[in-house]
Structure 1
Amino acid sequence: MVRRTGTGGEPDIINTAVDCTAEYLIQIGVLRGNFNLTLRMEQPPPDDDAPLAAAERRLARSLLHRWRAEADAWDMTDPEPLPVRWTPSRCVASAGEHLPAGSGTDTIAGTFLALRPRRRLVVLGTAGSGKTVLSVLLTLELLARRLTQGEDDVPVPLMLSLESWDARRQSLAEWLVDRLRRDHPGLPSVDGVHPARRLVLERRVLPVLDGLDELPEHRRAEVLDALDTGLGGGGDVVLVSRTAEYAHLDRQGKGLRHSTVIESLPLRPGEVAEYLRKARPRSRAAAWAPLLKTLREEPAAPAAWALSSPLMVWLVRRAYEQGPADPGTLADRERFPTRDAVEAHLLDRIVPAAFPPVPAHPGRLHAPRTWDAERAHAWLSYLALLLNRRGESELAWWRLHTAPLPRLLALPALLVTGILLSFAVKAGMSGAAGGSPSSGFLGSTEVAIGVVTAALARTVTTAWFGERLAEPRRSANPLLFVRALRSLDRHARVGPLVRLAVLTGGPVLVVLLLALYAVAGDPLLVSLSVGGVLPVLLMIVYAAPADTVDAATPGELLRGERSALVTTLTLVAPLIGVGTSAFLWLDGGSGGWKAVIGSCAGASAMLVLLSPWSRWLLAKCSLAVAGRVPWSLMAFLRDARAAGLLQVSGGTYRFRNRRLQEHLAGRRAEARGTAGSAPWAVPFPKLSDPRESTVERTADHYRLRGRSRTLPLAHWAVVGVIMGTFVVRMSVSGQWHQPVAWLSLLFWPFLGALITAVGFLKPRRPLELELTRDGVTSVFGRRRRSYAWRHVEEITVRRAIVRGRDARFHALQVRLLADAPRPPRRSRMGEGWYLVLSTGPSPHVDPGLAAALADFAGPRWTPPSGGG
């Protein structure tokens, strides 16, 4: 405050406040003269991270609600968290390298946050030992610390399955960004865009990755390499796997770098007894008493050993929660003499306990949905067996059509549906023309043109996307054209030059054809542009497959496929109809609405009947008629998930535990690769089969000779597409009653069978494998492959990868050093591996051959996991 004398002799009082945060200014005293108040307030710097922090909190709340629901379904925290313990793993050399002192008494989240200098945690354990429980408890505690305790430096854990990551096509960051965008589309935008990229790049999310052991063997090392690359120098991660699979990778030097490895410990019988005492209903205390007494007083009893697993504790709670089930029978050693007997009994009881009979209230109009326990057990057992045969753990509705029964009924269903559709189309066309529906089938030419054009568009799209076209598509929105363009570019199987040529040259070609028509007047140019090139371009754009596991739920993915199908029909089929009609009309023929409707109907039938949605409908209906699944399959899967038997992994379902899947399938999981043979050839016989081969062995030489033949099957993929097109064309156009049409259709399977028979009857080709001190050489037919040991980094038996696809058989393969000469392209197996010789469907190697490989290859030889 400054006081000075004014011009009138009265004092002027001037107050100046700089950077003042006060809301009120009080001046005490007698004031005379002028009073001047100046406030110099500087605006606080803008908080650019406030919108991102809000999106981060929204994500944390969403994940907390989701995983609390999962934990409640699995009884993880009711009445208290399961007493799961852990210790530094003994199977990994650097297990406790970064483990802080006293971590054994801390919570799993406290142990993780105390890791220095990097927070990279690997959680190991056997089947059902509590790995998933530890990861879920870690997720819940980190989210609780972030939201309730205000610890802003705690990252938001994002728990994902590694089965959804194709490390060959997406980096770790891009995969996490895609998952966040699809799983959490409602996050508040930052700078007008979804905050997923900033959340990932600024490392505000913590990937908690489960299911490394469930990946095919050839993908595990690939995923770990991509994970190391994606994490860089300071990225954090939590990795969950079974002990044996990760230890095998670690011994090969492929473990996660700079990580701390812990292993879940069995539950203590006394702690389990106290946990069950608090969890049991008070009214059933007497029924639980014998089992609890056994757990406290007989820690070596079979029941105590069985209940050392969190999975079994959850099973015993669910199976004996309600009467008249008696948990005391588990303590009977005569009835359950071994741990396996107790576990098998609990696994058998879980489905009836998950679907108890619920009588309807007499006053309710609609009874609640109930599922018969016996039928539910049969349905789940079939689905589990189907997954085991494929060596998978994710149940995807769009792959259900690959079951034997839907595949058998595919062509008959196409024919019947096409015939029914032909009656409906012809009835509508005859009604529009004022005729009778039974007056004959009209417009077969227009229908045939529509079918062939749609088949051509689908063929081009299949060449663009490959196998991904058989997967559900994103919810195609015509207004989101740029987003669809990005999707088709990301999932394209063709090279960048082809993509650039099609996406830029396609629209130019349409304009050029129309310009040529204006000059030359040829109606074929209009048909090619409007009804040919333009539908193909739109088909490619709006057939862009979604990242299948990126949908929030399987139901949303199914709705997205239906929406994409409707969009494709709305845009592609009418253009084909208009192009056909324009050609016929400009050529002086009978164009008009009849040609448009006929061609559009044929194109629509082709697009619908060969879509993932129609295949799903065929699979569900055929399996439901056979009693393999319920008619309301999606509702049943949702209820099974609510009962704790299943869990949602993106757009697919998974069983609560892999062991539960194996038990329901009626057998233990078999080694991967026994699900079938390659789609183009039968694998070669085992190299060491004495009936097919001879072995010569000296100190410096090993030679295995035999003869083998292949069964050509590659052409059946093309034959199947042609047959499908003929069936749709013949049925929709009304030619199904003409013998000539049937002869044309039957010609193709006859041709396919003839090619297969000729290939099989060809003389058997020689097969030879030779090992020397200098290298390895293989011969099959006229193809000879030779690799010098000085160029080989590793040799082992792996799954064969042909053109980026799992060939479903194993082969002896080598990985070459960086400076080694590269073999021909046909020897490439992907991921830097090269083919030596196929060994058949099993990864096991004969002991004699394994001993020879260990002798001649030395440390380069790595026995396959589970093999000799």
Structure 2
Amino acid sequence: MAGQADSGGGAHITNTAVDCTAEYLIQIGVLEGDLNLILRVPPAPSDDDAPLAAAERRLARSLLRRWRAEADAWHMTDPEPLRVRWTPSRQVASAGEFVPAGSGADTIAGTFLRLRPRRRLVVLGTAGSGKTTLSVLLTLELLARRLTQGEDDVPIPLVLSLESWNTRRQSLTEWLVDRLRQDHPGLPTVDGVHPALRLVQERRVLPVLDGLDELPEHRRAEVLDALHTGLGGAGDIVLVSRTTEYTDLDRKGQGLRHATVIESLPLRPDEVAEYLQRARPRSRAADWARLLKTLRTDPSAPVARALTNPLMVWLVRRAYERHPTDPGELTDRQRFPDRGAVEAQLLDRIVPAAFPALPPDPGRLHPPRTWDADRAGAWLSYLALLLNRREESELAWWRLYTAPLPRLLAVPALLATGILLSLVIKAGLSGYTESNPLGGMALSADVTGGVVFAAVARSVTASWFGQRLTEPRRSANPLLFIQALRSLDRNSRVGPLVRSATLVGGPALVVLLLALYTFVTPEPALVWFSIGGVLPVLLMIVYTAPADTVDAATPDELLRGEQSALVTTLTLVAPLIGAGVGAFFWLNDSTLARGTAIAAWAGASAMLVLLSPWSRWMLAKCSLAATGRVPWSLMTFLRDARTAGLLQFSGGTYRFRNRRLQDHLANRLTEERGTAPPGREPVPVPALSDAGHFTVEHAKDHFCLRGRSRRLPLAHWAALGPLMGVYAVRMSVSGQWQDGIAWLGLLVWPFLGAVVTVVGLFLPRRRLELELTRGGVTSVIGRRRRSYEWRHVEEITVRRAVFRGRDARFHALQVRLLAGAPRPPRRSRMGEGWYFVLPLGRSPQVDPQLGAALADFAGSRWTPPSGGR
């Protein structure tokens, strides 16, 4: 509202409303003169586009809320922002500096929208240089322009991680459509279907893709090739990567074509000083004076060189924000002689700064949690160490059970919990036991029946979804059957014919069996098998589909979804198993049908709960918390760590704000334990001539490695483990734990696995040969020979072996073939286009002689391993 005095002494009042949702305007006060209302309304969409426009607005509002929350959590929307300078790294249309935020300069979105001839932007920089911050701020401004300024031609930015895109299975369009459907299932439908396909095909969404540098080297080129194909000639995109990884691709002619490439410039010490002077608390001006003076007068000081990185500037501000910390200590050259010492000090101080000891107001009803900084640092260091051991960056609560301690306690915890449940079941069904002529034997048999039927349903579901059964399940609403079927189809690991036959033939089989009982033969077993056997299996498949964890809203929502799915199985699947058993006895005119049904339901419920992702999560959290490795309120702690700026969301998982922070915390813990950080130090590899069982023949045009190795069969443990878990549940819950023979049966499974492993060790050594020539590479393992010609090989390197989707936990020499090359047998496939050559062991390091030979004969095709993959 603006007011101006007119010649008559009155006021000219103008109200301007832009993209306003208000229905009434109330002006309070004494009005003299004219009252004008200017309402800027965008043109109404046509009838055909109205549903799609509504879906776009819903999507934009959802994304704006989400990324505003993320920006606030990462302190990106600070009133005193740190200005990072960006410069074109090649001859591009938008010459000059690219300023993310600053008075008088163009905005991020304005610069991006004026890019010509195509709006393709590549954002480069070193670790912690502000790449992600730029992409998030660009996303927020584009969404704000669309929603508050009515610029309908502005695309809707979708920030996605490239780790979730399998370019060999999905095109760019298919991936974007799938992600929209997964992440935003509640968008208004267009013509009765989800609007994702139209939004992508009509280019109303802008892919903002991060994490190119975090992909394996071979996948980076594949992603860029797929982007070129998917974008076509007019597609817009924002791509974020570290400078070194992207420039390596660009030198090979694999960079993003027709793109404006910008790169962050190091911060100048005087700029950092001005920023810290504005951002520091005014009451602590004297404490910051020494550091600011050093930045202005001595640019070569270690602290000045360390603070050229935005991440370090953020760390120094957070670490020394509160009293009694002294930022001037960073100028002491005796304590901090180089840049690395300053950076290490900042990384050490960030955890205490993130968790200050601030007592809450005692008058508050629900005061916030406070965390001890030392303990918080130890917990974060342990989690970082777990991630480094797995060579991962995403912290998923459902994978926490793979830590050593939960794995060790898995079977004892199953037995202890099952024994307690058996005592509860026996006490609750004491009347049924007394009235049954068989007494406790009948109760044990009924509970065992429920366990077995639930185990069958679970095994079928495992075959259907594969390894994803260990992931959290989506929140299933039994009333939304069609939605459940869509999720079932999206996550299944079986072919379309098997899916169709199961979903059509399963219900038909139930109807057929019930019809046979009604009209042909009154055999109660038909009702038992249909209601208690086939129907629970079908519902288990439909309502326990894994959730979409890659870009789920929050980890807490995934946990709630798993809990909801568990409740659904307990109230839908388990009761059907009990009803089928009870119906069998009821149709046989037995008065014990009710007790039998309850006992079978109890056994099925115990089976479904004890082997669920939720139970594994509880075991991991409780065991690690009891030993002090994590807090008891782990999810609350992770949320607070995110709020403090140490963690951030990555879909349904957490990740450290920066990989450098993760490595620092992990290394600090390993140094305290006196061990080297796993995967960070080179592993000494003995020469092949010293190995004892290998001989080497090396000539100008020939390299041959011959030897023999023992077999170590371990693949059978993947099948014996689940079988042992099912047996432990059945034995303990059914009450058979009181029988000594049952305990001997439990020991059969590990004994059988150990026998297979030991027998494999004592079998004759396998022949191993590797031959390199100018024409190709040939390997011999036992009686199997594999040959690959160099003209068909695109790359050869060392990777982790993966057989049928399962990590074999050893490294092998593998090749990736060119398109159109002859394909080896299926047993040689390692996934992602790689094929097996020769096993090398648990370490990814290569013997120097073999590495030199591969570099000589394979040439540029050979990629030395930088670590496990």
- Closer/same/farther in 2, CA of residues 79 and 296 from structure 1, 3 Å limit: farther
Matching residue's letter, 1:480: L
Which residue does the alignment assign to 1:605?
A: 606
State the SS of the aligned residue for 1:563. helix
Mean CA deviation greater in 829-838 or 378-387: 829-838
In structure 1, distance between residues paired with 2:354 and 2:68: 19
Alpha-carbon distance in structure 2 between the residues aligned to 1:62 and 1:689:
62
Contact 1:401 1:407 in 2 (8 A): yes
User: C-alpha distance in 2, partners of 1:126/1:854?
Assistant: 29
| Equivalent runs, 1:726-765 vs 2, <5 Å | 726-765=727-766
TM-score (norm 1): 0.87
Distance 1:744 1:62 in 2: 55
Matches within 5 A, 1:477-516: 477-516=477-516
* 1:332-347 map, 5 Å: 332-347=332-347
Report SS of the residue matched to 2:208.
Answer: strand
Q: CA deviation at 1:753?
A: 0.8
The structure having more radius of gyration, on CA atoms, is: 1
Amino acid at match of 2:626: V
1:368 is paired with a residue whose SS is coil
Please tell me whether the aligned partners of residues 688 and 846 of structure 1 are also in contact (alpha carbons under 8 angstroms). no
Q: 1:822 to 1:350 in 2, by over 3 A?
A: same
3-state SS in 1 of match to 2:213: coil
Instruction: Determine if the alignment matches structure 1 residue 710 to structure 2 residue 711.
Output: yes
Alignment-derived partner of residue 615 in structure 2: 614
Q: Distance in 2 between matches of 1:867 and 1:630?
A: 30
Q: Give 1:476's aligned amino acid.
A: A
Aligned to 1:237: 237
Partners of 1:685 and 1:232 lie apart in 2 by: 50
With over 3 angstroms needed to count, the CA separation of the structure-2 counterparts of 1:642 and 1:115, relative to structure 1, is same
The structure-2 alpha-carbon separation of the partners of 1:124 and 1:801, relative to structure 1 and needing over 3 Å to count, comes to farther
Mapping of 1:234-383 within 5 angstroms? 234-251=234-251, 253-364=253-364, 366-383=366-383
**Alpha-carbon distance change, 506 to 69 in structure 1, aligned in 2, over 3 angstroms:** closer
**Aligned residue for 2:626?**
625
1:27-53 deviation per Cα after TM superposition (whole angstroms, max 9, x unaligned): xxxxxxxxxxxxxxxx99944334433
8 Å CA contact 2:777, 2:788 repeated in 1: yes
Kindly indicate whether residue 642 of structure 2 is the aligned counterpart of residue 641 of structure 1.
yes
- 1:805-857, Cα deviation, whole Å (9 max, x unpaired): 44444332233344433221111222333222123344443443233223323
Over residues 765-797 of structure 1, what are the superposed CA-to-partner deviations in whole Å (9 max), with x where a residue is unaligned? 121111122221111111111122343343333
Partner amino acid, structure 2, of 1:752: G
Aligned to 1:855: 856
For 1:173 and 1:668, locate their aligned partners in 2 and report how far apart those are by CA, in whole Å.
44
Q: In the alignment, is the contact (CA less than 8 A) between 1:828 and 1:834 conserved in 2?
A: yes
For the 8 Å contact 2:385–2:669, the answer to whether it is kept is: no
In terms of mean alpha carbon deviation, does 758-767 or 808-817 score higher? 808-817
> What letter matches 2:634 in structure 1?
L
* 3-state DSSP of counterpart to 1:48: coil
Contact residue 447 and residue 598 of structure 1 kept, 8 A? yes
Secondary structure of 2:371's counterpart equals coil
Distance 2:386 2:789 in 1: 42
Cα shift readout 1:74-122 (whole Å, capped 9, x = no counterpart):
3334233322122344xxxxxx254423354665434432333332222
Please give the TM-score of this superposition, normalised by the length of structure 2.
Answer: 0.87
Judge conservation of contact 1:84–1:134 (CA < 8 Å) in 2. no
Identity of aligned residues (%): 77
Q: Name the counterpart of 1:156.
A: 156
Match of residue 535 from structure 2:
534
Q: Cα–Cα, structure 1 residues 419 and 520, in superposed 2: closer, same or farther, change >3 Å?
A: same
Q: Which residue of 2 aligns with 1:719?
A: 720
Would the aligned equivalents of 2:289 and 2:328 in 1 still touch at CA under 8 Å? yes
Q: For 2:558 and 2:868, how far apart are their aligned partners in 1?
A: 39
Distance 1:299 1:181 in 2: 51
Check conservation: 2:294, 2:304, Cα contact below 8 A: yes
> CA–CA distance in 1 between the matches of 2:341 and 2:452?
60
Alignment of 1:102 onto 2:96: yes
Say if 2:136 is the partner of 1:136: yes
Code of the residue aligned with 1:635 in structure 2: it is: T
Partner amino acid, structure 2, of 1:723: M
Shift of the alpha carbon at 1:386? 0.9
Partner amino acid for 2:320?
A: Y
CA displacement, residues 256-286 of structure 1 (integer Å, 9 cap, x when unaligned): 4443333222111111111111101111111
User: AA paired with 1:213?
Assistant: D
Maintained 8 Å contact 1:476/1:542: yes
Structure 1: distance between partners of 2:305 and 2:197: 47
Match of 2:173 in 1: 173
Gaps of 5+ in 2: 1-42, 100-105
2:94 maps to a residue whose letter is P
Indicate if the aligned counterparts of 1:662 and 1:668 stay in contact, CA closer than 8 A: no
Per-residue deviation, residues 481-539 of structure 1 (Å, max 9, x unmatched): 11211211121111222222212211222222233334244433322222111111111
Moved more, 718-727 or 585-594: 585-594
| Alignment CA distance shift 1:815-1:549 (3 Å) | closer
* Counterpart code for 1:352: P
CA contact (8 A) 1:530 1:578 kept: yes
Counterpart contact for 2:381–2:669, Cα < 8 Å: no
Asked whether the 8 Å contact 2:381–2:668 carries over to 1, the reply is no
Provide the rounded CA distance (Å) in 2 between the counterparts of 1:279 and 1:428: 65
Q: 1:481 to 1:532 in 2, by over 3 A?
A: same
In 2: Cα distance, 1:838 partner to 1:44 partner:
65
Q: Structure 2 CA distance, aligned partners of 1:672 and 1:378?
A: 16
* 3-state secondary structure, aligned to 2:117: coil
Secondary structure of 1:395's counterpart equals coil
Counterpart amino acid of residue 704 in structure 2: R
How many residue pairs end up in the alignment? 810
- Report the AA paired with residue 756 of structure 1: T
Q: Distance in 2 between matches of 1:444 and 1:432?
A: 12
In structure 2, relative to structure 1, the CA distance for the partners of 1:352 and 1:381 (3 Å cut) is: same
How far does the alpha carbon of each residue in 1:733-774 deviate from its partner, in whole angstroms, 9 at most, with x for none? 111111111111111111111111111121221211111222
Query: Could you say which residue in structure 2 is the equivalent of 1:575?
Result: 576
**Deviations for 1:468-487, whole angstroms, at most 9, x for unmatched residues?**
11111111111211121121
- What residue identity is the alignment partner of 1:500? S
Q: Report how far residue 644 of structure 1 moved.
A: 0.9
Q: Look up the equivalent residue of 1:348 and give its one-letter code.
A: D
Structure 1 residue 861 displacement after superposition: 3.5
User: Aligned partners of 1:254 and 1:806: how far apart in 2?
Assistant: 30
The secondary structure found in structure 2 opposite 1:813 is strand
Counterpart in the other structure of 2:453: 453
Deviates more, 1:566-575 or 1:240-249: 240-249
Q: State the distance in 1 between where 2:748 and 2:798 align.
A: 41
Q: What does residue 404 of structure 1 align with?
A: 404
Instruction: Tell me which residue corresponds to 2:548.
Output: 547
How far apart are residue 308 of structure 1 and its match? 0.9
Quote the residue 2:33 is aligned against.
none
Residue-by-residue CA offset, 1:383-417 (whole Å, 9 max, x unaligned): 11111111111111111111111111111111111
C-alpha spacing 1:434/1:583, structure 2 compared with 1 (3 Å) = closer
Q: Relative to 1, partners in 2 of residues 1:345 and 1:431: Cα closer, same or farther, differing over 3 Å?
A: farther
* Structure 1 unaligned spans of 5+: 1-42, 90-95, 676-683
Could you give the per-residue CA deviations for residues 392-443 of structure 1, whole angstroms, max 9, x where no partner exists?
Answer: 111111111111111111111111111111122222212567889xx95751
| 2:553 aligned counterpart, secondary structure | coil
Residue number in structure 2 paired with 1:661: 662
Residues 805 and 831, structure 2, Cα contact 8 Å, conserved in 1: yes
Amino acid aligned to 2:506:
G
2:87–2:96 contact (8 Å) kept in structure 1: no
2:209 is equivalent to residue 209 of structure 1: yes
Please tell me the residue identity of whatever aligns with 1:430: S
Cα distance, 1:328–1:353 mapped onto 2, change above 3 Å: same
**Which residue of structure 2 lines up, in the alignment, with residue 680 of structure 1?**
none
Distance 1:371 1:712 in 2: 46
Q: 1:249 to 1:587 in 2, by over 3 A?
A: farther
Q: Secondary structure at the match of 1:209?
A: strand
- Please tell me whether the aligned partners of residues 688 and 695 of structure 2 are also in contact (alpha carbons under 8 angstroms): no
Could you tell me which amino acid in structure 2 is paired with residue 421 of structure 1? Answer: L
The separation in 2 between residues aligned to 1:543 and 1:615, in whole angstroms, is 16
Moved more, 502-511 or 43-52: 43-52
Rounded Cα–Cα distance in structure 2 between residues aligned with 1:370 and 1:135: 32
Distance of 1:260 and 1:793 partners within structure 2: 29
